[in-house]
Amino acid sequence: MNVPVRPAETLRDALAALLDGLPSRQAAQAVDRLIANYRGATPTDTPILRDRADVAAYAAYRMPATFEATHSALEAFAQAVPEWAPGSHIDVGGGTGAATWAVTATWPGERSVTVLDWAEPALALGREIAAANPALRAVRWQRSRIGSALTIESTDLVTVSYVLNELTAPDRAALIDAAATAAQAVVIVEPGTPAGYTRIIEARDRLITAGFHIAAPCPHSAACPIVPGTDWCHFSARVSRSSLHRQVKGGSLAYEDEKFAYVAATRLPVSPAPSRVVRKPQIRKGQVLLDLCETDPSLRRVTITKRHGDMYKAARDADWGDPWPPDTRD
């Protein structure tokens, strides 16, 4: 009997096997350096991942979080284009391939997949980890410099996860333009920081200029209603952590919350959410406060009380990042 592959669980098991036997101090030192690079600026001519120890530490530290954040973004995109599934996928700057796992979790089954990255150790380890996922066994792992000279073959979907921070502004612009030229759909994920949000807005603007429609998170393709410098749009994904993962990261909790910003855009017709919950709902006695980004475009806080009946129950179940009212499409 064929047992369905659950990408999140399979990925956690593969990472646990990968880290078995790796000296914890060596992994922790690599993680410290990776955190510094992740939070700072990295020259475009210096790959962050230098050897297998770096890659193993990266996989333990970042891959589960990248998977969950990208999966959340892809799920929101899939809700806006429910009749479509990508037949081909290129993951730009994909490293060990977390976004490819997220795509298989969103749209099960095999497809043509290429991962582009300039760090050969990351590609090699990504290939090794992907052996656990039948949908990824035929992936092309291709070494390529991510910058202004990058060419992207024609494809249905391009993902760019936690990459823009590593690039100069001209290289970021060139990458977005290349993705827009090559793909029917582009999904970009960045850290949920003010700087990450700024990079997402820059990418969003370029995609709109290229003729794309915004599928998520925004319920519109107009300008973002947030006044620059006053706030930033971001979301949160819960990440389960194995005991080995907690050991490498120096934490004790069984989970962490990954804050991320994203844009999902396409040339396809879209049915975006009527509005989206852009902050954690505030549940109070007899009422729920929801901060919404609406189609107008505008930002508005609404109060849902018990008098709203079923809508109140739905509001109590609503999560940060959900469409509102709840999406009832299959």
What pLDDT, in 10s, does the model give residues 126-170?
Answer: 999 999 999 999 999 999 999 888 999 999 999 999 999 989 999
Per-residue confidence (pLDDT) for residue 26, from 0 to 100: 66
Nearest CA among 25, 39, 48, 52 for reference residue 247: 25
pLDDT at res. 2: 47
Average pLDDT over residues 105-131: 93
* Residue of 34 and 86 predicted with greater confidence: 86
| Closest residue by Cα to residue 31 from 55, 67, 64, 65 | 55
pLDDT, average across residues 248-275: 87
- Which residues 6+ apart lie within 8 Å of 228 measured at CB? 198
Q: Which pLDDT band, with edges at 50, 70 and 90, does 328 fall under?
A: low
Q: State residue 248's pLDDT score.
A: 56
- In this prediction, residues 233-260 reach a mean pLDDT of 77
Looking at residue 329, its pLDDT comes to 46
Buried b / exposed e over 194-215, threshold 16 CB at 10 Å, is eebbbbbbbbbebbbeeebbbb
Task: Provide CATH code, domain 7-266.
Answer: 3.40.50.150
Average pLDDT for 67-84: 97
**Which whole number is the average pLDDT over 234-261?**
77
Position with higher pLDDT, 164 vs 44:
164
The whole-angstrom separation of Cα 105 and Cα 124 is 22
Residue pair 184/213 in contact by the 8 Å Cβ criterion: no
Q: What is the pLDDT of residues 192-214, one digit of tens each?
A: 999 999 999 999 999 999 999 99
In the numeric block, which tokens belong to residue 28? 């922790």
Interval 90-118 mean pLDDT: 96
- Whole-number pLDDT of residue 330: 44
Torsion of CA 276, 279, 281, 284, to 10 degrees: -140
Q: DSSP class of residue 269?
A: -
Tell me what pLDDT residue 5 has: 65
Asked if pLDDT for residue 80 goes beyond 60, the answer is: yes
How confident is residue 247, by pLDDT bands cut at 50, 70 and 90? low
3-class SS of residue 31: helix
- Between 225 and 24, the more confident residue is 225
CB 200 within 8 A of CB 186: no
Element of type H or E holding 204 = helix 194-209
- Residue 169's contacts (CB-CB under 8 Å, 6 or more residues apart) are none
User: What band does 8 get if pLDDT is binned at 50, 70 and 90?
Assistant: confident
**Confidence at residue 251, expressed as pLDDT on a 0 to 100 scale:** 64
Strands 298-305 and 235-240: unpaired
Q: 199 φ, ψ to 5°?
A: -65, -35
112 three-class SS: strand
Q: CB of 91 within 8 A of CB of 163?
A: no
- Written as six digits, the tokens of 130 are 């992907």
Residue 279 to residues 193, 257, 282, 314: CA-CA distances in angstroms?
Answer: 14, 14, 9, 16
State residue 62's pLDDT score: 82
Would you state the pLDDT for residue 130?
94
- pLDDT band at 218; cut points 50, 70, 90: very high
* pLDDT at 3 > cutoff 50: no
pLDDT tier, 243 (very low <50, low <70, confident <90, very high otherwise): low
Average pLDDT, the chain: 88
pTM for this model (two decimals):
0.90
Report pLDDT for 21.
Answer: 65
Rounded Cα distance, 100 and 115, in Å: 8
Check if the beta carbon of residue 52 is closer than 8 Å to that of residue 18: no
Please enumerate in sequence order all residues whose Cβ is within 8 A of that of 207, keeping only pairs 6 or more positions apart, or say none: 176, 180, 186, 214, 263, 265
Neighbouring residues of 189: CB distance < 8 A, sequence distance ≥ 6: 66, 69, 70, 73, 99, 159, 160, 161, 162, 260, 261, 262
Query: DSSP labels for 5-20?
Result: P-HHHHHHHHHHHHHT
CA–CA distances in Å: residue 16 to residues 19, 21, 68, 83, 185? 5, 10, 17, 36, 33
Mean pLDDT of 284-304: 95
The residues of the chain that CATH labels 3.40.50.150 are: 7-266
